[in-house]
Amino acid sequence: MHISELTHPNQLKGLSIRELEEVSRQIREKHLQTVATSGGHLGPGLGVVELTVALYSTLDLDKDRVIWDVGHQAYPHKMLTGRYHDFHTLRQKEGVAGYLKRSESKFDHFGAGHASTSISAGLGMALARDAKGEDFKVVSIIGDGALTGGMALEAINHAGHLPHTRLMVVLNDNEMSISPNVGAISRYLNKVRLSSPMQFLTDNLEEQIKHLPFLGDSLTPEMERVKEGMKRLVVPKVGAVIEELGFKYFGPIDGHNLQELIDTFKQAEKVPGPVFVHVSTTKGKGYDLAEKDQVGYHAQSPFNLSTGKAYPSSKPKPPSYSKVFAHTLTTLAKDNPKIMGITAAMATGTGLDKLQAKLPKQYVDVGIAEQHAVTLAAGMACEGMRPVVAIYSTFLQRGYDQIIHDVCIQKLPVFFCLDRAGIVGADGPTHQGMYDIAYLRCIPNLAIMAPKDEAELQQMLVTGVNYTDGAIAMRYPRGNGIGVPLMEEGWEPLEIGKAELLRSGDDVLLLGYGSMVYPALQTAELLHEHGIEATVVNARFVKPLDTEMILPLAQRIGKVVTMEEGCLMGGFGSAVAEALMDNNVLVPLKRLGVPDILVDHATPEQSTVGLGLTPAQMAADIMASLFKVESPVAPRVS
């Protein structure tokens, strides 16, 4: 059977091992071809092909629930659940999403782009099932990287307390998240991998005891205790912790042996309470280059499948903001041993792997544990260190209470560096960095800034490291810089709360924040072509806002436009509106940014057009709304 003939995952039932192996080969081939052509996550999905095929061959997917943690490991799931023919549209506008999406398929039972959620969601479904008197299986699949997240451990703690709640947790253990895992849990799992499987031990032991003379089919309480005692002799290295937490443990299982997987899943599905199946897989399985470089091939831009190398760019690009951040921080840290770079399992994504390589004693990876990262930084700050917490905007949301409670209430000098702020592209709604301006701006004892380009990012890094009056945050976008010259020395901190005047004009005031400053300048040029002269200000800080500059300009010019790459509700434009109203500067105000919608997966350019945030669209919008002049410009696209 060819996978293209599968219209429903239940068609896997009854196929021979040889046929399932052929389906697995075809999935892996399609996976590789698609990611090589259009980009996407590579290693995670390749590692769970057999796991997915084996599991789905034992379930009834018309009623059973499978919850995938994160979702970038669920590409094989997508191909088996009716999206094989559309899989070539992966992560493209209006195509197949890169993560699970409930609105995309009835088989996507729970959407997630952030790690460590699957056990909580699965337990919730299992409890709802029992409350309604229904009967279906619930399987939560989680990677060992995601198991470092506190939420996963909280869910395990809860599930183990419910001995009669049927829930299967499948640990996809490949020794990796994006980078190699850290911490005691990872060390423990390494020990488990080296142990012999014991998934059927206790059942076989019970059968052997039952055959002893005079005992019959049931075990006396005394013999039950003997059984448990015997079990303890062999479990210490193979799941003792999991067993003590209330789960029945199976494993470790070879995650690429279909027969062993199927036999284990069938056995585990009979357990009347929580069960934990430990599956050992190889990230990038089936593509030699991805197996050897599991960090580099976690996700890829389009690349040559035969060589594994990315297609060269048609022209040289400026360095990415992440690279400039990493280079500058490492340079500063060389001269300041108090600087500590902190990441939550995103060393390569944030660029902190450079700091780790050069100054390992000034680098900390906490695993997928953003809450812990924030409070860890607070503790360091208490002792006079200069913690720099580098976390994607979308992931820092997970440490929100800690920012307020542990950092800002205590007015501790923690420096938050928010990578991937604004539009992120193909990762879609779970990863868009739209909300940090709004969710941080309302917190006391926190200054917030955003650079207009990579050179200003360098200045803001110096500013943040030197700021001691409380916490400070800097947001910067995904992708390459503007192309301005970088500084190698002589960096000076910026004055807190001071904006920069870039252009003068008498007709309209354009206030750009962060990545929207250069588009504001381009918009001013387009307005100039229509006889409208604009003043352009680089706000630099949304908090404190430079009211000393902005208010007189707004009063004199009489028309104000704010531009931001973030949500409008509570964002930069809202800060300006509040300042104008609080000071009785009642002038027309146009706010340009992201409205109250979720921005779906597409290229950043497509998203920008869809949001009406290109310079041409913004110029047309300004002319129509503030000057009642129509301009033949491409309209906003939904």
Q: What is the pLDDT of residues 507-542, one digit of tens each?
A: 999 999 999 999 999 999 999 999 999 999 999 999
Amino acid at 537: V
What is the spatial distance between Cα 509 and Cα 488, in angstroms, rounded to a whole number?
Answer: 34
- Would you state the structure tokens that stand for residue 388, as one six-digit string? 């720099």
Beta-bridge partners for 592: 563
- Of 55-59, 308-312, 604-608, the one with minimum mean pLDDT is 308-312
Is pLDDT of 596 > 50?
yes
Is pLDDT of 186 > 70?
no
Would you call 398 a catalytic residue per the annotation? Answer: yes
Is pLDDT of 194 > 90?
no
Is pLDDT of 124 > 70?
yes
**Which candidate in 30, 398, 441, 543 is catalytic?**
398
**Which candidate in 283, 475, 559, 590 is catalytic?**
283
What is the spatial distance between Cα 146 and Cα 390, in angstroms, rounded to a whole number?
Answer: 19
Is pLDDT of 237 > 80?
no
> What is the maximum alpha-carbon separation in the chain?
103
What is the spatial distance between Cα 180 and Cα 591, in angstroms, rounded to a whole number?
Answer: 43
Amino acid at 481: G
Q: How far apart are the first and last CA of the chain?
A: 41
Q: What pLDDT digit, counting tens, does each position of 428-452 carry?
A: 899 999 999 999 999 999 999 999 9
Mean pLDDT of all residues in 100-122: 93
pTM (2 d.p.): 0.87
- Of 86-100, 411-425, 471-485, the one with minimum mean pLDDT is 86-100
Q: What is the pLDDT of residue 231?
A: 45
What is the spatial distance between Cα 299 and Cα 295, in angstroms, rounded to a whole number?
Answer: 8
State whether residue 302 is helix, strand or coil: coil
Under DSSP, the state recorded for 613 is -
Is pLDDT of 562 > 90?
yes
Kindly report the average pLDDT of the chain as a whole number: 90
Interacting residues of 387 by C-beta distance below 8 A, sequence separation 6+:
340, 342, 376, 377, 378, 380, 381, 414, 415
Q: What is the pLDDT of residue 148?
A: 83
What is the spatial distance between Cα 69 and Cα 121, in angstroms, rounded to a whole number?
Answer: 10
> Left (φ > 0), alpha (ψ -120 to 50) or beta: where does 319 sit?
beta
Is pLDDT of 211 > 80?
no
Q: Which burial class, exposed, middle or buried, applies to 611 when counting CB atoms under 10 A from its CB (0-12, 13-18, 19+)?
A: buried
**Which candidate in 50, 243, 370, 456 is catalytic?**
370
Taking alpha carbons only, the member of 543, 540, 561, 550 closest to residue 612 is 561
- Would you state the structure tokens that stand for residue 595, as one six-digit string? 């409205």
Helix, strand, coil percentages (3-state) for the chain, rounded to 5, are 40, 15, 40
State whether residue 404 is helix, strand or coil: helix
Q: What is the pLDDT of residue 532?
A: 97
Contact between 601 and 580 (Cβ < 8 Å): no
